[in-house]
Structure 1
């Protein structure tokens, strides 16, 4: 009989293959193998499987070993397929990024895997990257293709850090050309016509108030949908909204990680921090709108922490707002523009009013002024007025 040692029976090694197989004091079989240190962390790694029967334990170990090899977690005679590399990368980053961002990444990786997922990492070449973009190009914008390229580059960069590949083939390709899409916006004076026309399908005036808020603040839709009574504040005598949250929809098991500090409203709706740190900001609004928002919250008995705007007790959604916005435009006889264009309208009016770059960036909640510039649409008459001011500075002596 095998000798007892520290509460376990001495190891019974397999006749073939590496690793050790032993049965502990509880008659549970263990198959354990030490693996090479993790190339990133340098930490020692051990793969182990357990079972009541030795053969079952060995089978579980072999399956686990094969899975580790498939995902590239340990060396093997064949490098993992790209689809498995993408799967592992998604698993590794899942807990570090916001759920909505993760959903986007997963969708992009799924599309990439559909194009070249069966290629092994060691055989990946620049032509595979180009093939991916060519395959995914139909019906997609240059910006979307650029996002696919970035995602593939990120996953392969992780594979490089782990020693699975020596170079990143994405770096040897050119990014796709991105043609900017012009966003149509309403002209000055037109938003009020759409706001008034909202009354057709808005008996209690909620959407009219929402559309006023949209054009008067340029807030993102998710930020507007999350506005709660306590965000209506007065700072240094100035009425405004403290933008510090947004409403997010998370499907199925895709719940937010604890570090995000999100608060659940319904099974699928959450109040979460806004898009970025720069998105946390104070947006001044006129006294009339501020008081109307306050009155709305009071009359409808909206407690702190709860969204001011709801539809029959339910949080608002993009399809509902889009449908009512289109109806308002049609009733007002205005050209079609997206409700999101109100954010562009607001940024444009800030610039036309002479707001500095820092002020525009702060009010819009952007990290870079280049992003704010993308929301700014100069009208010929505004440019002409500025050009006239520049010419006036020349002086009369310059007039021929």
Structure 2
């Protein structure tokens, strides 16, 4: 085939276009069989490219969407990336520096909600109306909706920063208001009623929870090496989340907690059960250390409340009970914050203000 076209040549069963863009020589392949007609059409395509380059309207993505240079030079790369792909790429990147429990939450949001709903759209196609229509179909709490939208917000924030999109539709989607649940602590009489329904290790576990304010993850992660009975204190160093041991989520969470009389009593009683073991609190049914809070809630907590004739309150109320009890006794709010693992006493004032004496 002797026909010559500038910047166009055949190569096997394809046609190669050769042009210069932004000072770089570009060679792109058209996977069509070279013939007199196709070479002529390829030459016209090249002339159109050169014209667009001269006019400043050339977009690599429009002509060569599969080219590696499209990402480098495209002015509208967001048109070629689906939300599904962007979310999956973001998850891979995020897995490197997030806790396992956080990644599980992100995976749930991405694969159960975001990809099924928005995954087919390109980054540039998502509109606020898409999100609003989706919100109208949900029957989950505002807090859960905010959590589900979190990965999508982060993906679009990155896409806007990387200039893949010209505007971020998530900037116009407000966080939904979340109603703060009022603490519902137990009275001393109610604590006794609950503990009276328990015995052995179960009683020790909840007595220690009521009188230390530990989170359940901290409670089941407690090790005998963390206990300093001679000095009436213990150390919160690790937690159990998703059946795995890890360090506390925040620096303030890693702390020293003072032991009061009731907490010391619970530990002394517990020693006969597990003092030769690593973990302080064990599941009587399995003889092994607790691995998650759900089993504690279902097998110990709920039956104890029912037997005590009390309405259901989640186990976290043991933590609220400790805070309100200490404040009512006149303990310094800053001390209470330190005992509970808050970085300052702002949260104590906000959540437990009504238990702080005025004088």
TM-score (norm 1): 0.65
Between stretches 294-303 and 349-358, larger displacement belongs to 294-303
Are the equivalent residues in 2 in contact too, given 1:247–1:270 (CA < 8 A)?
Answer: yes
Are the equivalent residues in 1 in contact too, given 2:221–2:245 (CA < 8 A)?
Answer: yes
Between structures 1 and 2, the one with greater helix share: 2
**Match in the other structure for 1:277:** 251
**Match in the other structure for 1:5:** none
Are the equivalent residues in 1 in contact too, given 2:87–2:155 (CA < 8 A)?
Answer: yes
Are the equivalent residues in 2 in contact too, given 1:244–1:274 (CA < 8 A)?
Answer: yes
**2:280 match: secondary structure:** coil
**1:376 match: secondary structure:** helix
Match of 2:293 among 303, 318, 324: 318
Between stretches 363-372 and 321-330, larger displacement belongs to 363-372
Are the equivalent residues in 2 in contact too, given 1:350–1:360 (CA < 8 A)?
Answer: yes
**Match in the other structure for 2:135:** 133
Distance 2:161 2:66 in 1: 21
Distance 2:106 2:334 in 1: 32
Distance 2:145 2:253 in 1: 27
Deviation at 1:216, TM superposition (A): 0.5
**Match in the other structure for 2:239:** 246
**Match in the other structure for 2:121:** 119
- 1:101-116 correspondence to structure 2 within 5 Å: 101-110=102-111, 111-116=113-118
- Summarize the Cα distance change of 1:357–1:286 in structure 2 as closer, same or farther, 3 Å threshold: closer
Deviation at 1:96, TM superposition (A): 0.6
**Match in the other structure for 2:59:** none
Deviation at 1:182, TM superposition (A): 3.3
Match of 1:367 among 339, 343, 351: 343
**Match in the other structure for 1:84:** 85
Distance 1:321 1:67 in 2: 56
- Summarize the Cα distance change of 1:288–1:180 in structure 2 as closer, same or farther, 3 Å threshold: closer
- Summarize the Cα distance change of 1:357–1:95 in structure 2 as closer, same or farther, 3 Å threshold: same
Distance 1:67 1:221 in 2: 53
Distance 1:91 1:342 in 2: 37
Note the aligned Cα RMSD (angstroms).
Answer: 3.2
- Summarize the Cα distance change of 1:116–1:270 in structure 2 as closer, same or farther, 3 Å threshold: closer
Distance 1:307 1:242 in 2: 13
Computing the radius of gyration from Cα coordinates, the structure with the larger value is 2
Are the equivalent residues in 2 in contact too, given 1:82–1:119 (CA < 8 A)?
Answer: yes
Are the equivalent residues in 2 in contact too, given 1:344–1:377 (CA < 8 A)?
Answer: no
Deviation at 1:359, TM superposition (A): 1.9
Are the equivalent residues in 1 in contact too, given 2:78–2:164 (CA < 8 A)?
Answer: no
**Match in the other structure for 2:194:** 194
Match of 1:220 among 215, 220, 231: 215
Say whether residues 1:208 and 2:203 are aligned partners.
Answer: yes
- Summarize the Cα distance change of 1:288–1:67 in structure 2 as closer, same or farther, 3 Å threshold: farther
- CA deviation vs aligned residue, 1:272-305 (integer Å, no higher than 9, x gap): 10121110111111246336525634653424xx
Distance 1:218 1:196 in 2: 19
**Match in the other structure for 1:96:** 97
Say whether residues 1:338 and 2:314 are aligned partners.
Answer: yes
**1:242 match: secondary structure:** strand
**1:190 match: secondary structure:** helix
Distance 2:342 2:275 in 1: 33
Distance 2:304 2:148 in 1: 37
Distance 2:128 2:262 in 1: 59
TM-score (norm 2): 0.72
**Match in the other structure for 2:280:** 308
Any unmatched runs of 5+ in structure 2? 1-10, 19-64
Are the equivalent residues in 2 in contact too, given 1:133–1:149 (CA < 8 A)?
Answer: no
Are the equivalent residues in 2 in contact too, given 1:231–1:243 (CA < 8 A)?
Answer: yes
**Match in the other structure for 2:5:** none
Are the equivalent residues in 1 in contact too, given 2:210–2:318 (CA < 8 A)?
Answer: yes
**Match in the other structure for 2:45:** none
Deviation at 1:117, TM superposition (A): 2.0
